[in-house]
Amino acid sequence: MNILTKDKINWKSCTVLILIPLLTFLFLPYYAFEHGFCFKDWAIFGFFMISTGLSITAGYHRLWSHKAYKASSVVKIFFMLFGAAALQNSIIKWSSDHRKHHLFVDHPEKDPYAITKGFWYSHIKWMLKKPNLETSRIENVNDLKKDSIVNFQHKYYLPISIFMCMILPTLIGFSYGSPLGCFLLSGLLRLVINHHFTFMINSIAHYYGSQNYSDQNTSRDNPLLSLFTYGEGYHNFHHKYPGDYRNGVHWYDYDPSKWLINIFCIFGLSQSAKKTSKSVIDRDKLIIRSKKKC
């Protein structure tokens, strides 16, 4: 049965997730052929790409959803602004959905983006249809509602997100004579790429990879995926120890979100970063290894 019948379509999400990519891949090649992109266009694109991605992984995800560490107001404001540029909802809504995902992981009705309903459902389809009342309700985020920065973003999410995603790149482009080029790269292309990098955690990280710490759900460790998701690919570790500020627990694991939090700690911009003890991790790894031998 098709879940995207006309009466169930979420038109707002479809506009962002389908129409914007279509327009991007229609106009971007034309502009590139007719005008080309300069070095500054690509440099600003890189800055927005990294800032937006890390604001989701180190901000929305590890700071607010899991309270894995504490951060200064400067860090919070940066993450709040560039997180809004990702057009993935407010911190409060995003965290509510994500906490439900962890609480009811793989449940076909209570997990908002359950992989058990199919790969493409968890990747994007869950956002294209109108959600049921149980999964769409904002709950279990009373702690976040006490944060004035988080509340400000939630109240003014629409104007903040439009400004950060569309208007700011255009204004920056105006400063060096390339408003449309900067808008196309740092506004539209960056948005499309950032979306699907994030969505891959909901889909690929629950579908492909290894289970080194727990076999109680579908989460997988996928080091290759971490290259595109700022360290979020070590997803089996994360689901086993969601309060840990690290996803890549080893020093050699590619986890830029962890590195950024460490840098914040060095300069006094963050503190109280939570770590699971090595003895607990080693114990759980041993249990999984013993199961695989049976």
Q: What is the pLDDT of residues 194-240, one digit of tens each?
A: 999 999 999 999 999 999 999 999 999 999 999 999 999 999 999 99
Within 13 Å and on the Cβ side, how many CA atoms surround 84?
A: 25
Q: Over the range 3-30, which residues count as b (16 or more CB within 10 Å of their CB) and which as e?
A: eeeeeeebeebeebbeebbeebeeebee
**Each residue of 236-294: pLDDT tens digit?**
999 999 999 999 999 999 999 999 999 999 999 999 999 999 999 999 999 999 887 76
Bridge partner residues of 9 (DSSP): 129
Q: Could you tell me the two tokens for 91?
A: 């911190």
Distance CA 271, CA 273 (A): 6
Q: Residue 1: what pLDDT? A: 41
Which position has the token pair 């994030």?
A: 198
pLDDT single digits (tens) 70-103: 999 999 999 999 999 999 999 999 999 999 999 9
Can you give the pLDDT at residue 8? 83
> What is the pTM for the complete model shown?
0.94
Confidence of residue 155 (pLDDT cuts 50, 70, 90): very high
Do residues 213 and 195 lie in contact, with contact meaning Cβ atoms separated by under 8 Å?
no
Burial 214-234 (b: 16+ CB within 10 A, else e): beebbbbbbbebbebbbbbbb
Rg, C-alpha atoms of the chain? 20
Domain boundaries, the chain: 6-210
- Residue for token pair 């098709």: 2
* pLDDT given at position 187: 97
SS3 220: coil
What is the spatial distance between Cα 141 and Cα 121, in angstroms, rounded to a whole number? 25
Three-state SS for 198? helix
User: Two tokens at 172?
Assistant: 């920056």
- Measured between its terminal Cα atoms, the distance across the chain in Å is 39
Contact 111, 100 (CB under 8 A): yes
Contact call for residues 4 and 145 (beta carbons, < 8 A): no
